[in-house]
Amino acid sequence: MSYQVNEKGYYGDFGGAYIPEMLYPNVEELRKSYLEITNKPSFKEEFDQLLKDYVGRPSPLYFAKRLSEKHNTKVYLKREDLNHTGAHKVNNTIGQILVAKRLGKNRIIAETGAGQHGVATATVCALMGIQCVVYMGEIDIKRQAPNVARMKMLGAEVIPAKSGSKTLKDATNEAIRDWINNPVDTHYIIGSAIGPHPYPDMVTRFQSIISEEIKWQLKEKEGRENPDYVVACIGGGSNAAGTYYHFLDESEVGIIAVEAAGKGVHSGESAATSQLGNEGIIHGCKTLLMQTPDGQITEPYSISAGLDYPGVGPLHSHLYKSGRGEFYSVTDDDAMTAGLELSQLEGIIPAIESSHALAIFNDKKFKPEDIVVISLSGRGDKDLNTYIDYFKL
């Protein structure tokens, strides 16, 4: 079975490019050129140099001793939280801004949920001196205020999305609307492994630096490249796609995906897409999504803005349907508790999104000799107010 995208942009039954006619020239231009551009030695050189000197890569692979003792297994954390701007998102925005420049675009738009992708986009636009517009749901603007301030400080315009659940899905709708109106000069930097082909593949390739590093780092520390499990939280699925990428064909490596169950999978307030969703089309691709029987998208809910999305990327739908990935969902309460646990056992305050991955130990028991690599996708600075309110700190 292949876990790579095929020529038509499909992972098994999922993917493709379902787009309005107005966007066809843009998406087609990108589809035709993304591999040619990104495979050029001059592109790779600039990308690698920025990842090293600007982002601070390689991010450490940290053996979490006290967390390992607590859960009686060997836990390594891939420290994407230590990247410049505080999450994995910047790996992708660096890649995409370099593509946009080569396509001659002079205006960037983006959507954001937790604000991390918005900050990472505003950052690379400042770096390159390019105009930046970020769409963000009105609710997310309130719960991720520090990131909104950062985007503004970096010179980006933040436009609130006021429709629907006023979260990530609605921000994405607004960004697509903008792109339709500005098809020539604007590049849309999608922030997850979602959207029409070639976005899921392009984003996955930029994020695959995560698993590329895990391989040599683990070899140095444990004498072998492959862990027993890789674990990541899934919103649209970009940190997960990057964490899994170089292990997809290594059948001895277990792939674990953690979604947000919100107040409980069947509470009506959840974002556990693989369990609640079925096949449909969202934001340009065919994938699993939460919808009513007549195909209206169901409003998702999660305490974490970055996981509050009713779909998952097509690679993940394929991993779910083919059985290659094990999918779990974690409630708000369990994620918050896991975030507090990491803070107090290891001195690392995680993003609430990453706390979902850390809550895997409630659902899955690992063997003492297992090596479990968890993607610590981001740091918790942006979430301090939510942690304070939740734990009455």
| Catalytic sites, residue numbers | 89, 111, 377
Whichever of 151 and 240 has its CB closer to ligand PLP, that residue is 240
Contacts of 28 (CB under 8 A, 6+ apart): none
Closer by beta carbon to ligand PLP, 19 or else 203: 203
- In whole angstroms, give the CA distance from residue 277 to residue 295: 11
d(CA 79, CA 129): 29
Nearer to ligand PLP, 74 or 237 (CB): 237
Shorter beta-carbon distance to ligand PLP: residue 31 or 143: 143
Question: How many CA atoms lie less than 13 Å away from 16 in the CB half-sphere?
Answer: 13
Write down the least CB distance from residue 220 to ligand PLP, Å: 26
Phi, psi of 45 (to 5 degrees): -65, -45
User: From the CB of 141, what's the least distance to ligand PLP, in Å?
Assistant: 14
Contacts to ligand PLP by CB under 6 A: 87, 113-114, 116-117, 192, 233-240, 306-307, 351, 353-354, 377-378
Count CB neighbours of 281 within 10 A. Answer: 16
In angstroms, rounded to a whole number, what is the distance separating the alpha carbons of residues 26 and 265? 38
| Ramachandran angles phi, psi of 75, nearest 5° | -110, 125
| Shortest distance (Å) from residue 118 CB to ligand PLP | 9
E strand residue ranges, the chain: 10-11, 14-15, 61-63, 74-79, 107-112, 131-137, 157-161, 186-188, 229-233, 254-262, 278-282, 285-289, 325-331, 371-376
Q: Give the ranges where 252-313 is alpha helix by DSSP (H).
A: 273-276
Q: How far is the CB of 81 from ligand PLP (least distance, A)?
A: 8
Phi, psi angle pair for 327, to nearest 5°:
-110, 130
Task: Quote the CA–CA distance of 9 and 43 in Å, as a whole number.
Answer: 23
Quick one: 74 or 171, whose CB is closer to ligand PLP? Answer: 171
Q: What torsion do the CA atoms of 4, 6, 12, 16 make, to the nearest 10 degrees? A: 120
Compare residues 74 and 329 and give the one whose CB is closer to ligand PLP.
329
- Of the candidates 374, 258, 359, 364, the residue with the CA atom closest to the CA atom of residue 306: 258
End-to-end CA distance of the chain, in Å? 49
For ligand PLP, give the closer residue by CB, 74 or 262: 262
Residues 374, 330: contact at Cβ < 8 Å? no
Toward ligand PLP, which CB reaches closer, 195 or 306?
306
| Cβ neighbours around 193 below 10 Å, total | 30
Nearest to 82 by CA among 323, 378, 387: 378
The pairing of strands 229-233 and 371-376 is parallel
At its nearest, how many Å lie between ligand PLP and the CB of residue 323?
21
